[in-house]
Amino acid sequence: MIGEIIHFDDAEQQGTIRDEKGGEHAFDLVGWRGRGLPGPGLAVDFELRDGRAVQVFNARIKQQKARRVVSMPPESEAGEAPGPTDDAARPATRKRWWLAGLAIVVLVLAGLWI
């Protein structure tokens, strides 16, 4: 059956599930087979035995489609998006470091041959 936990007492480790037809069924933590701890508002699948809910699991839900998240550019201190000069400066800085690294490698190799 499918239902929803309407009450769960941590101290007594017992709770109540309301099924699709409005009937209420008691369950305890021993019958809980779901992820984490049970709590109010949680949709569950369960079986009935002697009027009690047993084998209580989290309800299976259909996998939801992924949504595309559009990220916003970081804001500057003034609350405005960075201008094109900020983006243009980055490749030049990387290029300088790359050239400096290449120059060091060439000098080290030349020093080993001498």
pLDDT along the chain (114 residues), means of 10: 93 94 93 90 92 90 74 58 56 77 90 78
54 located within any domain: yes
Catalogue the E-assigned strands of the chain: 2-9, 14-19, 24-28, 43-49, 52-58
What is the three-state SS of 44-69?
EEEEEECCEEEEEEECCCCCCCCCCC
pLDDT of residue 16: 96
Q: Range of 18's domain?
A: 2-58
28 located within any domain: yes
The count of domains in the chain is: 1
CATH number at residue 50: 2.40.50.140
43 located within any domain: yes
13 located within any domain: yes
70 located within any domain: no
67 located within any domain: no
